Amino acid sequence: MSQVELNNLAFASDAGKLFGFFSGIAALYLPLWLVLLIGSALGLVGYGLQYLFITHQISSLSYAHIFLLTVLAGNSICWINTVCYVVIIQNFPSDRQVSVGLTTSYQGLSAKIYTVLVDALFFSPDKRAKSYLLLNSMLPLLVCVMAAPFVRDFDVGTSRNMEVGFMFMFFVTTATGIYAVISSLGSLPSWLPPLGNAICILVLLLAPLVIPMAEKIREVLLNGEIMKVSVEKNAGDNQVERIESGIEEVDDDHRRGNDQEKVFDIQTSLYSSIHGSNGRSFLLASNSTNISLYISTAIIGVCTGAITSISVSTTTELFGTKNFSVNHNIVVANIPIGSFIFGYSAALNYRREDDGDGTCMGLQCYRNTFII
């Protein structure tokens, strides 16, 4: 397989986003839990058939079949992401920027989770290579089936009540990211086996469940206190409470309205700084030292995450939340264009720098692509 054909397969995964608007339309007319399950089922078919092919369970797949299955698998991501973003916007209308940012921070962990599971469960080099497709097909389906019953609107309260929860989530995501980076660099102690590493990642991933558990306990205690107080208070006191609560809500709404007027200007400046950071990361990538590789990869990752979260917030600010599922998938349809142009350019530059047998080793293989 040539480098061009290999890059075409990489493009195929992004090409699935060209059909992401189907998931957006489905989210408007179907229950979100059903949209989530459809997305996981598409991934099961796309990655699962490829796994059966490389394990010689089926033997009739051509390059075109693999390309189309990769497109299908890439499209499945749109269905799952659409449900996640819609749930966030519906349940956190006044804090959706923060919520989207926290959610986006977990998107980059998929590859790390797969790597940790492969290290812990598969030891044969041949099985390790095939196990990634198996996990890609089965793990999202399992997680979606478990999450489907909880995909609905919840009464999450006011921003003031959620402040502590957001702070806790910020520390959890930061700790998870730091641990993922350190373990990826091979800086973990030698006494920690791969299974222990997998358990540590699992604990960090389950840590956000502390928030709903604590909230449930708080509600139980609060309900008991309210019942006790309600017996002692008269109707006049209750009326005063309702009036004060209404004044606070109006004041909160007024502050949120002022804050939202600043969102677009902030996002515009962020776009400029992000693209400037991307340019510096490419210059770092042109250096052959390992430290430059680590720094440039980190900068590219930060910029990609920022652009992803900002694009969601910008879509809701400019076009509203009513048809967000369709609008956002139209916005992300530009990704395959860049993937194809720069992917094909990288393949041509690679082939130009090869040593005659179709292979190329070293920084010079991709230097021109980074510069472009």
- Residue 237: what residue type? D
pLDDT tops 90 at residue 248? no
Cβ 68 vs Cβ 136: under 8 Å = no
pLDDT tops 80 at residue 223? no
Query: What's this model's pTM, rounded to 2 decimal places?
Result: 0.75
For helices 159-184 and 109-121, give the axis angle rounded to 10 degrees: 50
Average pLDDT score over the chain = 76
- Residue 45: what residue type? V
Each residue of 278-289: pLDDT tens digit? Answer: 555 555 555 666
R_g over Cα of the chain: 24
CA distance 350 to 347: 5
Q: Which two tokens stand for residue 283?
A: 């210059």
Long-range contacts made by residues 147-153, C-beta under 8 angstroms, separation at least 24? 147/36, 148/33, 148/36, 148/37, 149/33, 151/32, 151/33, 151/36, 151/83, 151/87, 152/32, 152/33, 153/90, 153/91
Q: Is residue 28 classed as helix, strand or coil in its secondary structure?
A: helix
Each residue of 289-327: pLDDT tens digit? Answer: 667 777 777 777 777 777 777 888 788 878 887 888 888
Q: Is residue 370 classed as helix, strand or coil in its secondary structure?
A: helix
- Residue 258: what residue type? N
Residue 32, exposed/middle/buried by CB under 10 A (0-12, 13-18, 19+)?
Answer: buried
**CATH 1.20.1250.20 is right for the domain spanning 1-156:** yes
Can you state the percent helix, strand and coil of the chain, rounding each to 5? Answer: 85, 0, 15
- Residue 348: what residue type? L
Beta strands in the chain (DSSP E): none
CA distance 236 to 260: 37
CA distances from 213 to 44, 120, 210, 308 (A): 32, 29, 5, 29
Residue 2: which H helix or E strand, with range?
A: none
pLDDT at 45: 92
pLDDT, average across residues 326-331: 84
> In the chain, where are the structural domains located?
1-156, 159-254
CA distance 121 to 1: 30
pLDDT at 44: 93
Q: Which two tokens stand for residue 55?
A: 């394990």
pLDDT at 142: 92
Q: What region does 320 belong to: left with phi over 0, alpha with psi -120 to 50, or beta? A: left
CA distance 89 to 321: 7
Cβ 119 vs Cβ 197: under 8 Å = yes
Q: What confidence tier does 356 reach under pLDDT thresholds 50, 70, 90?
A: low
Q: What confidence tier does 41 reach under pLDDT thresholds 50, 70, 90?
A: very high
Q: Is residue 241 classed as helix, strand or coil in its secondary structure?
A: helix
